[in-house]
């Protein structure tokens, strides 16, 4: 039986634990504390929770001020309103001074669902990754999220930790050791590598099983940290399997696919297919429908694998 859990729920419960353990942890939200699950922290630690109202720019800079006063602020809202609305505030007040602020948006990507394009973020990884001093993390499941929230609380400096709305399969068990900047090979293989992040890693594991029946051996490299990129594991994948398919719940421009393309073209040119949202905005629909609609499924990854193998063979 596959366990299902939402990364935002793991965030909410882990924040509660951190609140007990570390009095420096404070939390800010912009009128979405029920959705982002920071409401749990708000209830238990009301004096350390600041509902900033629908004013994300002020929220981000207030967090920077709290960090300047020695606090460890976690800042939450939907991804588009954190990364998008407050981009320059994050750049100037958080990243430039290396403020110890953790931007932890929930509702990344298209699985926001019915709210549609205005609330779906398909560009946030790209625009956060472009900022110097910024660390960008997209966990695959609830277990990794809990570990990542703890890791970023201990890490000194700005972090963008992108979470999702919906329940996703739990891939890791409690023995999993999350380390910022380190990827994890989830399945071995020698014909190609799926390099995936967030909820696409679960799809890559299914795709790897399906392809096995066709005699194709697909490695699955999960990169929760998109910046800094784990160049060692990526280079191994390129040199040992000779073909790469990236997968992410994000635009194919500038996110994981973009980061991998940049790395490979400089260090180990390798046939590459990027699976993601193909330079389009999101749209309304149920999360599962939208993933199918945009091809963010194991079938989408399998198609991409066959295409990349054709190119690999043609070399």
CB nearer another protein, residue 88 or residue 288:
88
- 3-state SS, residue 96: coil
Kindly list the catalytic residues: 56
**Does 153 sit near another protein (CB under 8 A)?**
no
- DSSP string covering 140-165, please? SSHHHHHHHHHHHHHS-S-EEE---S
**Does 32 sit near another protein (CB under 8 A)?**
no
Query: How many angstroms separate the CA atoms of 156 and 176, rounded?
Result: 22
Q: Among residues 198, 190, 197, 228, which one has the least CA distance to residue 305?
A: 190
Shortest separation between residue 48's beta carbon and another protein, angstroms:
7
Tell me the sheet residues that pair with 27.
49, 74
Query: How many angstroms separate the CA atoms of 209 and 89, rounded?
Result: 44
Shortest separation between residue 44's beta carbon and another protein, angstroms:
15
| Residues in 74-103 that interact with another protein by CB under 8 A | 88-89, 92-93, 96-99
CB nearer another protein, residue 26 or residue 261:
26
| Residues in 33-72 that interact with another protein by CB under 8 A | 47-48, 50, 52-53, 55, 57-58, 60-71
- Judged by CB under 8 A, how many residues of this single chain contact another protein? 30
CB nearer another protein, residue 15 or residue 60:
60
CB nearer another protein, residue 35 or residue 92:
92
Give whole-number Cα distances, 297 to 106, 205, 268, 302, in Å: 21, 11, 27, 9
Tell me the sheet residues that pair with 25.
72
Residues near another protein (CB under 8 A) are 26, 47-48, 50, 52-53, 55, 57-58, 60-71, 73, 88-89, 92-93, 96-99
């Amino acid at each position: 039986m596959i366990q299902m859990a939402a990364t935002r729920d793991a965030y909410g419960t882990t924040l509660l634990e951190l609140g007990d353990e570390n009095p420096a942890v404070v939390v800010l939200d912009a009128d979405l504390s029920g959705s982002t699950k920071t409401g749990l922290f708000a209830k238990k630690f009301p004096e350390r929770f600041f509902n900033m109202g629908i004013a994300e720019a002020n929220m981000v800079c207030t967090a920077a001020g709290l960090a300047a006063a020695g606090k460890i602020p976690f800042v939450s809202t939907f991804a588009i309103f954190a990364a998008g609305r407050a981009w320059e505030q994050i750049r100037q007040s958080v990243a430039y001074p290396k403020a110890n602020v953790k931007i932890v948006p929930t509702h990344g990507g298209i699985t926001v669902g019915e709210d549609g394009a205005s609330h779906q973020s398909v560009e946030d990884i790209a625009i956060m990754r472009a900022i110097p001093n910024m660390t960008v993390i997209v966990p695959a499941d609830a277990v990794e999220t809990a570990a990542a929230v703890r890791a970023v609380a201990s890490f000194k400096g700005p972090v963008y930790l992108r979470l999702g709305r919906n329940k996703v399969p739990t891939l890791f068990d409690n023995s999993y050791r999350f380390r910022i900047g380190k990827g994890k090979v989830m399945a071995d293989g020698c014909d190609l590598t799926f390099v995936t992040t967030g909820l696409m890693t679960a799809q890559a594991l299914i795709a790897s099983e399906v392809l096995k029946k066709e005699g194709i051996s697909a490695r699955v490299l999960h990169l929760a940290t998109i910046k800094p990129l784990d160049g060692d594991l990526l280079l191994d994948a390129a040199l040992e399997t000779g073909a790469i398919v990236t997968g992410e719940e994000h635009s194919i421009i500038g996110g994981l696919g973009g980061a991998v393309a940049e790395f490979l073209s400089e260090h180990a040119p390798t046939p590459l297919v990027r699976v993601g949202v193909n330079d389009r905005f999101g749209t309304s629909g149920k999360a599962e429908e939208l993933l199918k609609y945009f091809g963010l499924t194991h079938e989408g990854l399998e198609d991409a694998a066959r295409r990349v193998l054709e190119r690999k063979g043609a070399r």
